[in-house]
């Protein structure tokens, strides 16, 4: 990754593509959901505070229609702002995610200015010559561990600027780097095992121990990881053999200009200096501390942002940048990710509109009625697809668990299906959808950092989605019949 001041601007990267930008897609979705509030009847479940879940949960059988609250022009215009800070929404506290992204960008801007990343990439590529392909399953497995244990999501945004240049330098493309991170962490979410923010909350809301159904989740995790790693490795080999087969072939030159140093810079900085070596050590330790803090100390965005800010200052002092150069590099780096920070509010504005329009519970009630009286096989498959649909509107795994599990899990008793299967169907559906969900800030944000347009991502991933859908449905069906 290099200083982006002379890089090809994003608008030019997508020359030849008429597909709308992520911002346009999200605005259209906000308007669409607002229009639904004029059509779908408003309704609400009674809610009580659950000691086991730690949040208010819906009470089954209490749904009732309420006076409508259709969302008009003013509500649509206010929704992005509310998506950042509305404390009563599933979209609450998005502002800390946006600020984390800006601190991350500033940190990367300072590190990039030292030249350590570019020189380090060339060093790594020299040592891995001929073996680069094995980085794919190794890195995907690490991200999958983060996904399955603590629901690694927003934290992945910190890794795109590191991994994408490595993949491009190895002869692959930006999509390969995005896929390693997004699909790696995503398959971990699809096969959640002990994540306290999703699996434990969902199991508690369903009234079962979170260990119930663990064997099936491990099958989904391991099987899904093998499928995904093989798929990405096959694509990467094809791109390296013939770059024209890349789904972002038209943007290849622009991506190299953005993520890699030019040839003159490469010649001038072919070896790591002592200062650059120290910078890379601090750079790596920063991410180690972040993972430790999130996984064991319950850190969230504020502490992670403070970590990156502090590391940026330390690196600036070690590199003897001086006050003006340090702050300038930090601001330039934050500016590069400003669009990603804005996407966070836009994505969560969709949930704000749905909740303020009082249609979330109505949609859930319709799902409850659809599941009544079904046999075990039909029940679990329809449950999976209902959770797929709900995930588009509520991408948060914990938010979706709190919203749906208290209502849908008890229905499993009437269908003769174990409640643990309902929990597994919920989390696998959520993990699958959040590989492409335009309302999920991690998807749009990751693609924005990687300079990969949404339509190009869909072109790459749709066969894999089909394979994973069949695999997941088959696993759920077999488990329901046993």
Other CB atoms within a 10 A radius of the CB of residue 73 amount to: 9
Is 472 inside a domain boundary?
A: yes
Answer whether 3's CB lies under 8 Å from 112's CB. Answer: yes
Q: State residue 373's pLDDT score.
A: 74
Mean of the pLDDT values across residues 371-393?
A: 89
Structure confidence at residue 367 (pLDDT): 86
Shortest CA distance to 272 belongs to which of 115, 108, 110?
115
Using only C-alpha atoms, the chain has a radius of gyration, in whole angstroms, of 23
Angle at 249 between CA 105 and CA 17, to 5 degrees: 80
Percent of residues, the chain, with pLDDT higher than 90: 38
Mind listing the pLDDT tens digit for each residue in 390-426?
Answer: 898 888 887 888 888 888 888 888 788 899 999 999 9
How far apart CA 328 and CA 478 sit, in angstroms, is: 58
Domain assignment present for 13: no
Report yes or no: 40 and 31 within 8 Å, Cβ to Cβ: no
Read off the pLDDT of residues 125-154 as tens digits, 9 standing for 90 and up: 677 777 889 889 988 998 898 888 777 777
- 76 lies in a domain? no
Q: Which of 353, 351, 448 is nearest to 396 (CA)?
A: 351
Both tokens of residue 189?
A: 């979410």
d(CA 11, CA 15): 7
Q: What is the pLDDT of residue 4?
A: 43
What is the reported pLDDT for 9?
A: 40
How crowded is the C-beta side of 40, counted as CA atoms within 13 Å? Answer: 24
Report pLDDT for 31: 93
Q: Indicate whether 135 belongs to any domain.
A: yes
| Mean pLDDT value of segment 452-474 | 95
pLDDT tops 70 at residue 261:
no
* Average pLDDT score over residue span 171-190: 93
Which H or E run includes 56? strand 56-58
The overall average pLDDT reported for the chain is: 84
Tokens of 412: 């499993």
| Contact status, residue 174 vs residue 255, Cβ threshold 8 Å | yes
pLDDT computed for residue 1 by the predictor: 42
State the pLDDT at residue 73. 93
Whole-angstrom distance, CA of residue 349 vs CA of residue 206: 28
Kindly write down the DSSP assignment for every residue of 17-52, as one continuous string: --SPPHHHHHHHHHHHHHHHTTTSPPEE--EEE-TT
The residue that leads in pLDDT, 97 or 19, is 97
Residues pairing with 204 in the sheet: none
- Torsion angle, CA of 275/276/280/281, rounded to 10 degrees? -30
DSSP 9: P
pLDDT-wise least confident of 296-300, 322-326, 393-397: 296-300
Give the pLDDT score at 11: 38
Please, are residues 208 and 419 in contact by the beta-carbon 8 Å criterion? Answer: yes
Instruction: Provide the token pair at 453.
Output: 């347009």
What is the distance between the alpha carbons of residues 228 and 234, in angstroms, rounded to a whole number?
A: 10
Task: Domain of residue 340: give its range.
Answer: 39-59+93-481
pLDDT of 20 over the 60 cut: yes
Retrieve residue 122's tokens: 């060339």
- Contacts of residue 31, defined as CB under 8 A and 6 or more positions apart, other chains included, come to 76
Is the predicted pLDDT of residue 171 greater than 80, yes or no?
yes
Give me the sign of the Cα torsion angle 465, 467, 470, 471.
negative
What are the tokens at 309? 């800010």
Kindly state whether residue 222 falls inside one of the protein's structural domains.
yes
> Which of the pair, 337 or 221, is modelled with greater confidence?
221
Q: Does residue 5 lie in a domain region?
A: no
* pLDDT value of position 86: 63
| pLDDT of 317 strictly over 90 | yes
pLDDT value, residue 262? 40
Number of domains into which the chain is organized = 1
Kindly state the average pLDDT of the residues 220-248: 95
Q: Which residues pair with 44 in a beta bridge?
A: 64
C-alpha distances (whole Å) from 395 to each of 74, 220, 278 are 24, 20, 39
Q: Which structure tokens are listed for 264?
A: 């003159």
Rounded CA gap, 108 and 10, in Å?
18
Strand pairing partners for 47? Answer: 58
Q: Which two tokens stand for residue 269?
A: 């900085």
Residue 279, CB half-sphere, CA atoms under 13 Å: how many?
28
Is there a domain that residue 25 lies in? no
Q: Is position 450 within any domain?
A: yes
In three-state secondary structure terms, 454 is: helix
Residue 81's pLDDT is 84
């Amino acid at each position: 990754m290099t200083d982006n001041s002379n890089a090809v601007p994003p608008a030019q990267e997508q020359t030849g593509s008429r597909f709308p930008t992520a911002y346009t897609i999200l605005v259209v979705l906000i308007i669409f959901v607002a229009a639904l509030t004029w059509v779908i009847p408003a309704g609400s479940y009674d809610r009580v505070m659950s000691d086991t879940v730690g949040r208010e949960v819906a009470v089954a059988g209490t749904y009732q229609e309420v006076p409508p609250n259709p969302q008009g022009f003013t509500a649509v215009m206010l929704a992005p702002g509310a998506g950042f800070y509305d404390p009563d929404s599933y979209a609450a506290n998005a502002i800390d995610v946006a600020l984390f992204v800006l601190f991350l960008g500033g940190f990367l801007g300072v590190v990039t200015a030292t030249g350590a990343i570019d020189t380090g990439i060339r060093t790594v590529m020299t040592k891995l010559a001929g073996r680069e392909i094995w980085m794919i399953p190794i890195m995907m497995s690490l991200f999958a561990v983060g996904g399955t244990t603590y629901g690694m999501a927003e934290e992945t945004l910190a890794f795109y600027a590191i991994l994408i240049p490595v993949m491009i330098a190895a002869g692959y493309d930006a999509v390969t780097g995005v896929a390693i991170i997004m699909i790696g962490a995503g398959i971990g979410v699809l096969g959640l095992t002990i994540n306290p923010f999703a699996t434990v909350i969902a199991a508690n809301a369903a009234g079962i121990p979170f260990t119930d159904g663990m064997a099936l989740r491990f099958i989904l995790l391991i099987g899904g990881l093998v499928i995904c790693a093989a798929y990405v490795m096959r694509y990467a080999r094809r791109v390296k053999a013939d770059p024209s087969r890349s789904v972002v072939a038209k943007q290849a030159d622009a991506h190299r200009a953005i993520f890699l140093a030019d040839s003159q810079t490469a010649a001038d900085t072919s070896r790591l200096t002592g200062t650059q070596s120290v910078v890379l050590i601090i750079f790596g330790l920063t991410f180690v501390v972040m993972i430790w803090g999130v996984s064991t100390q319950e850190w969230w965005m504020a502490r992670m942002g403070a970590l990156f800010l502090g590391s940026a200052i330390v690196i600036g002092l070690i590199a003897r940048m001086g006050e003006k150069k340090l702050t300038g590099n930090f601001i330039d780096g934050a500016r590069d990710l400003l669009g990603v920070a804005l996407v966070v509010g836009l994505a969560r504005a969709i949930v704000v509109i749905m909740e303020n329009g009082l249609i979330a519970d109505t949609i859930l009630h319709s799902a409850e009625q659809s599941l009544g009286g079904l046999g075990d096989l039909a029940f679990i498959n329809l449950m999976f697809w209902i959770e797929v649909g709900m995930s588009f509107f509520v991408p948060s795994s914990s938010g979706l668990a709190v919203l749906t599990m208290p209502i849908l899990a008890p229905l499993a008793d009437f269908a003769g299906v174990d409640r643990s299967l309902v929990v597994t169907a919920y989390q696998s559906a959520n993990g699958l959808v959040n590989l492409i969900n335009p309302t999920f800030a991690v998807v749009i944000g990751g693609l924005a950092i990687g300079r990969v347009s949404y339509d190009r991502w869909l072109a790459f991933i749709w066969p894999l989605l089909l394979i994973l859908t069949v695999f997941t449905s088959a696993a759920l069906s077999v488990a329901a019949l046993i």
